[in-house]
Structure 1
Amino acid sequence: MNKTHRLCLVLGDQLSFDLASLKGLDAEQDTVLLVEVMEEASHVPHHPQKIALIFSAMRHFAEALKQRGIRVQYVTLDDPQNSGSVPGELRRWQSLLHAEELHLTECGDWRLEQSLKECGLAIQWHTDSRFLCSRADFSSWAEGKKQLRMEFFYREMRRKSGLLLNGDGSPVGGTWNFDAENRKTLPKGLRAPSPMRFSADAVTQDVLALVAKNFSSHYGALDAFDYPVTHADAQALWDYFLDWGLAAFGDYQDAMASDEPFLFHARISAALNIGLLDLRRLCNDVEAAYWAHRIPLNAAEGFIRQLIGWREYVRGVYWLKMPEYASGNLFGNSRPLPEFYWTGDTQMNCMSQAIGQSLKYAYAHHIQRLMVTGNFALLAGIAPSQICDWYLAIYMDAFDWVELPNTLGMVMHADGGYLGSKPYCASGQYIKRMSDYCRDCAYKVSESTTYDACPFNSLYWHFLMRHGDLLRGNQRMSMIYKNLDRMPESRQQALWQRGQFLLAKLDEGESF
């Protein structure tokens, strides 16, 4: 009996040997297809290091599959026959190989999944089992709820996974969430471990040359590329973090420091998101480190919460609410993204630090994204679509399923509070408390209305004033508005005028 020839398409963020669509492959009969295409590399101007990471990891994964005896067709970006799109390549290879079955694991991008569903081919879709919560399971959990709270979802994931639970099912330590113990500022003299770096092998060097040639117009440096591109190297990076970073991560995960882009963060999110690391193994390793008394509970719980709580939660929201979710714009923002987001050319030291390291490393940790670059975009009234595209383009770990809810919902509150119960807005005082950025800034964080006052200060109050009709009814904002109402009218007017002046400068294309 003749066997059916299966063609399995593996995308650049699906580089896992345990991928559902790879199950049951016949090494002699079936084929795995991987493609580098211009459409996916340029639909936003992705950071050159991000493109290099994915292409190099894809090439290494293809070689690893071949070593396992699996037939692989690999299409490079500069292949003369390359059609330039994922659906185009799937159609081309289905025809060339006369494949009777096409298999594909769920995409991480609604746009790409729709284009594949509409490409005219009968595709057998597989659930992405790399996640703890399937799309269907999240939809069932969300059914009937007007608002979705991550905390309650997270508790369900803890119960489902069994992580950090006592024998009776109660949380270790007596509470589910130790977030209040994850906000310490960095003490003077405390040094973070040096980041683990990986040198480029011949495959990566070829990719770096390819990216330099084809994406020179994209923002971001390529010469600092040092990320793991294989499963073994990603595991080495993870082991290094377990040994040297995780114990202090719980205390200082929200801290920021000048010229310290990584601090105690793992830098494994990109490797995890493209399939080089396994979610369940990471969580089990963290739990084991806690039980072995190698790390404190707030570090273990804080890290696990990010993985099975927030990460799974935003993915669930994305697939539950797309495509309508992407058009959210509660505040009616229309201001273009300032040019200095692409250059780092600003006298605001916090912004210069966060943007500068993002351009150099394609990396910033969650507080730099949320409370510095994101906070400014929120206060300045930047169009949500523009800041979303910036995050998607600039960060190594940014894929639409994780970037869009985090930016549109968490950062910009553009979804009307569906994802987060309040806007994460703050004045410069928050940045001063959590970093040393203000120390070397051209602006004074202690001032709000003078010519040299921190722009975050007046823009914060201006944001609250101009959106009072939408936010005053929010219980979590009531104290803030009471503070605003207690201000003398002259003070409110001065803050308003300073905010107006700064926004006018943005509209004229000026930097701060």
Structure 2
Amino acid sequence: MKLGLILADQLTTNLASLRALDPEQDMLVMAEVAEEAQYVAHHKQKIALLFSAMRHFSAQLQAAGWRIHYHHYQPDSPHRSLVEVIQAVCFEYDIETLVVTECGEHRLQRAIDEDWQNQLSLPVECYQDDRFISSQEEFKSWASGRKQLRMEFFYREMRRKTGLLMEQGEPCGGQWNFDQDNRKRYKGAVALVPRIRHEQDEIDQQVLELVEREFPKHPGTMEHFNWATTREQAQAELSHFIQHRLPHFGDYQDAMVSGEHTLFHSLIAPYLNCGLLTPLEVCQQVELAYQQGKAPLNAAEGFIRQIIGWREYVRGIYWLLMPQYGQQNQLNNQRQLPGYFWHGNTRMKCMSECFESTFRNAYAHHIQRLMITGNFSLLAGITPQQVCDWYLAVYADAYDWVELPNTLGMVMHADGGYLASKPYAASGNYINKMSDYCKHCSYSVKTSSEENSCPFNSLYWHFIQRHQQQFEKNPRMAMIYRSWTKMADEKQQAIIHRAEYLLEHIEEL
């Protein structure tokens, strides 16, 4: 008899390992274990989402005729890791082979590949995760021989491969990318539609109570838990997005508004990343909305690009470069992560808004992550590994393969420009342009060197100055350095003095 392991990010009935097994002869194992729930301080809602979704998926598989050994979380369980649970199952049953689908984390995949066969004393069959559009080998082949791995060119290959938004071999609308059309500030011209509400069943309630009881010190609150925990609920969330938010997603995907945490975003990344939805089906439904005239091209293209372009691209980067990639710190950042990243109390309005959404919902949209909490971390010189661990912990959609390249490469530029051709550093002017946060902040976004100057302004020029040797020859930053060198020495010194004061008192901002 073969034993199939189903991980928390593999809740898909068409999973490769499930296709390789026979429900009449083989069995499955699923497990909620301390090692996976606690290796970082995962947000309470993230743990609850995965435990509940796993339990619902297990029930779905059992109804379809599968035998399942399900290990429920127990704080005093002697089996604290996945392999220990599997060992116990193998002791109880006559297991000949363990069958798995490649997982989303190098740490666990290395253990499966290098250790589990010896620990379990049986062969381990590992199948390619073909839910992704590009396999690891396909990405590696695409990357071979290229000096720079630019997402835009990879994205075009994925468009050609899938046929999404293509007409007779050419992109719909005559261009591949409509990103320039997707940067409008939201001023209330279009009404916001509330999130769909998901009714909680007995499984959900049991899990919510479990997480509150067993993970009290983990970040976040459970009060506003509203994640889909079944495929049907995830599909309803997708349909709601396509009907009510997709038509305006393109225009306002970069916008930020005080008190509004979701705007026109889909919030389906957690379901894509745990398997309740698959990328191709999501993109095909978005494409259909465009074809039926229910969504404009810039919205459909911008959304699809995030999935078959960026999502697939960062996964390829992750598996191409790990494990060395995770230790990169090319800017030599040494500062510790400030305490407000965990408690949220700061005078910086933009940061407090992001923290509020993060702890309330286990969610913040991509511009909040990149251009506010991420931008601040970059400007302040926070150690990239601490920033990566924070992002991995606090967001419901965070898995190592997607979080690490996004944070270490895109946010922190710690890979020396491998992922992004320039650092995503910005002053408070960008935040003021894309949000209303600055209007409600005790700091002034109009100055850089005064006592109440926006920290982003002062720290931005400090970042530019301290990394001048690394970036002044970057053609995409030439204008910035021209502006810096044209400043009077007295103004430069005042800005640097203000920035250094802020860094010395970073916990007080």
The TM-score normalised by the length of structure 1 is 0.97
**Paired residue type of 1:125:** C
Question: Where in structure 2 are the equivalents of 1:92-241 lying within 5 Å?
Answer: 92-117=88-113, 118-119=115-116, 120=118, 121=120, 122-167=123-168, 169-241=169-241
Q: Distance in 1 between matches of 2:478 and 2:124?
A: 51
The CA distance in 1 between the partners of 2:474 and 2:344, in whole Å, is 34
The partner residue of 1:11 within 7, 29, 50 is 7
**Residues matched between the structures, number:** 504
Give the structure 2 partner of residue 351 of structure 1: 351
Find 2:70's aligned residue among 61, 68, 74: 74
Amino acid paired to 1:474: N
- Asked if 1 retains the 8 angstrom alpha-carbon contact of 2:75 and 2:214, the reply is no
State the match for 2:60 in structure 1: 64
Q: Report the alpha carbon displacement of residue 166 of structure 1 after superposing the two structures with TM.
A: 1.2
Aligned partner of 2:456 in structure 1 is 456
Unaligned runs of at least 5 residues, structure 2: none
- Distance in 2 (CA, whole Å) between partners of 1:467 and 1:409 is 17
Q: How big is the shift at 1:89? A: 1.4
Identify the residue that residue 84 of structure 1 maps to in structure 2.
80
Unmatched runs of 5 consecutive residues or more in structure 1? none
SS at 1:186 equivalent: coil
Q: Is the 8 A contact 1:186 1:255 kept in 2?
A: yes
Please report how far the alpha carbon of residue 207 of structure 1 lies from its aligned counterpart in structure 2 after TM superposition: 0.6
Per the TM alignment, residue 474 of structure 1 is displaced from its structure 2 partner at its CA by 1.1
The 5-angstrom pairing of residues 211-360 of structure 1 reads 211-360=211-360
3-state secondary structure, aligned to 2:508: coil
Contact 2:100 2:125 in 1 (8 A): yes
Counterpart-to-counterpart distance in 1, 2:190 and 2:160: 36
Question: C-alpha distance in 2, partners of 1:411/1:28?
Answer: 48
Q: Which residue of 2 aligns with 1:484?
A: 484
CA shift at 1:79, angstroms?
A: 7.7
Q: Give identity over the alignment, percent.
A: 52
Work out the CA distance in 2 between the residues paired with 1:431 and 1:149. Answer: 26
Alpha-carbon distance between aligned partners in 2 of 1:154 and 1:98, rounded to the nearest angstrom: 46
Distance in 2, Cα, partners of 1:254 & 1:392: 22
Deviations 1:68-94 (A, max 9, x none): 011111000118655111122122212
- Structure 2 distance, partners of 1:446, 1:304, is 37
Report the residue type matching 1:44 in the other structure: V
1:46 is matched with which residue? 42
Give the alignment's TM-score, normalised by structure 2: 0.98
Q: Deviations over 1:139-161 (max 9, x none)?
A: 00001112210000000000000
2:387 is the alignment partner of 1:387: yes
Shift of residue 464 of structure 1? 0.4
Distance in 2 of aligned mates of 1:189 and 1:152: 35
Alpha-carbon deviations, 1:178-221, whole Å to 9, x = none?
Answer: 01111111023433111112132110111111111111011111
Inter-partner Cα distance in structure 2 for 1:219 and 1:210: 15
Residue 224 of structure 1 and its aligned partner are, at CA, apart by: 1.0
2-side partners of 1:356 and 1:396: how far apart? 15
Runs of 4+ in 1 over 3 A off after TM superposition: 79-82
State how far apart, in whole Å, the 1-side matches of 2:285 and 2:106 are.
32
**How much does 1:39 deviate?**
0.6
Q: Which residue of structure 2 lines up, in the alignment, with residue 511 of structure 1?
A: 508
Which amino acid in the other structure matches residue 86 of structure 1? Answer: L
Aligned amino acid, residue 396 of structure 1: A
Deviations 1:372-397 (A, max 9, x none): 00000000000000000000000000
Per-residue CA shift, 1:312-361, capped at 9, x if unaligned? 00000000000000001011001010000111100000000001110110
RMSD, aligned α-carbons: 1.0
For 1:315 and 1:326, locate their aligned partners in 2 and report how far apart those are by CA, in whole Å.
13
Q: Are the structure 2 counterparts of residues 300 and 464 from structure 1 closer, same or farther at C-alpha, using a change threshold of 3 Å?
A: same
d(CA) in 1 for partners of 2:164, 2:94: 46
Cα distance in 2 for residues equivalent to 1:143 and 1:96: 46
Determine the C-alpha separation between the residues in 2 that align with 1:321 and 1:164: 31
Contact 1:326 1:408 survives alignment (8 Å): yes
Task: State the 1:222 CA deviation.
Answer: 1.2
1:95 Cα deviation from its structure 2 partner = 2.6
Task: Name 1:27's counterpart in structure 2.
Answer: 23
1:246-277, CA deviations, whole angstroms, 9 ceiling, x for partnerless residues?
00001000000000000000010001100001
Deviation at 1:61, TM superposition (A): 0.2
